[in-house]
Amino acid sequence: MTIRVQEDDFDLTRIYSELREAPTGQHTPGAISLFVGLVRDMNNNHTVAAMTLEHYPGMTETRLTAIRDAAMTRWPLGKAIIIHRVGKLYPNDQIVLVGATSSHRQAATEATAFMMDYLKTEAPFWKSEQTADGVTEWVSTRESDMTARTRWQETK
Amino acid sequence: MNIRYFAWLREHIGASSEDITYDQTVKTVSDLVDVLRQQSTGHQKALADMTLVRVAVNQVYVDIDHPVTAHDEVAFFPPVTGG
């Protein structure tokens, strides 16, 4: 499964093993790039006690598939995978995993960054943070996320 | 027409989904927003500033002037914050 939206945690060792294997009818990869996003215990100078992730079932999977497909088209990748968790998460929990394999490192690392930048700005997920005092707040967007995505439109 | 709300829009409106009887005068998302704002103070609050709201019709991002029809699923939500 190359696109997964789930409440459960994911096992990095297992995903790594899957990525390491050659795609059907292709050569074994020369590079694996993996990005894992974690829940921080601090955000904007306040303590984060927990976080809840909401999403738009259906549209989320469609957008993630489109992002993955765009990466597969743009770089010579063997495999590409996106996993995103939803529901209640706590500091240090894994939230998101993006991975790509290729013959060479540049394609794999660029594709991983590309998928993450588009996920951040297009995939319909929303975070709310609970502070230690029990205050719940919706996380606001960062200008830097949009800037990060724009760089892929300028190059190539 | 099925309307979906997420994150703080859902909280203001007090529902994640509602069915609206299609009104012939509603041609675009913008027309629909005008109709929805009349539903309650919660709707009015959620849809007050559309520069803070993203719209999807049938799960595809659209602009406010995008056409809508009777069987569309129209979703309103804040800019996304996943990852």
Name which of A27-36, A58-67, A113-122, A145-154 the model is least confident about: A145-154
pLDDT band at A141 (very low <50, low <70, confident <90, very high): confident
Q: Which domain holds residue A36?
A: 3-20+28-154
Q: What is the pLDDT of residue A89?
A: 98
Q: Which stretches of chain B drop beneath a pLDDT of 50?
A: none
Read off the CATH number of the domain in which B9 is found: 3.10.20.30
Interchain CB distance below 8 Å, A140 and B83: no
Q: What is the pLDDT of residue A11?
A: 97
**Residue B57 domain flag:** yes
3-state SS assignment for residue B55:
strand
Q: How many CB atoms lie within 10 A of CB A28?
A: 11
pLDDT band at A134 (very low <50, low <70, confident <90, very high): confident
Q: Report percent pLDDT > 90 for chain A.
A: 85
For residue A143, pLDDT beyond 80: yes
**Residue B82 domain flag:** no
Q: What is the pLDDT of residue A44?
A: 82
pLDDT digits (tens, 9 = 90+) for A9-18: 999 999 999 9
Q: Which of B63, B12, B62, B66 lies closest to B36 in space, CA to CA?
A: B12
Summary mean pLDDT of chain A: 95
Structural domains of chain A, count: 1
Q: Which residues contact B60 (CB under 8 A, 6 or more apart)?
A: none
For residue A1, pLDDT beyond 80: no
Read off the CATH number of the domain in which A126 is found: 3.90.1170.40
Q: Which residue has the higher pLDDT, A154 or A9?
A: A9
On chain B, the residues whose CB falls within 8 A of the CB of A139 are: 81
**Residue B29 domain flag:** yes
Structural domains of chain B, count: 1
On chain A, the residues whose CB falls within 8 A of the CB of B6 are: 54, 56, 124, 126
Partner A contacted by B83 (CB < 8 A): yes
Q: What is the pLDDT of residue A66?
A: 98
For residue A156, pLDDT beyond 60: no
**Residue B16 domain flag:** yes
Q: What is the pLDDT of residue A155?
A: 61
Half-sphere exposure of B51 (CA within 13 A, CB side): 0
Integer angstrom CA distances of residue A10 from A2, A5, A129? 13, 11, 21
d(CA B33, CA B12) in angstroms, rounded, equals 15
Q: Are A90 and A11 in contact (CB under 8 A)?
A: no
**Residue B8 domain flag:** yes
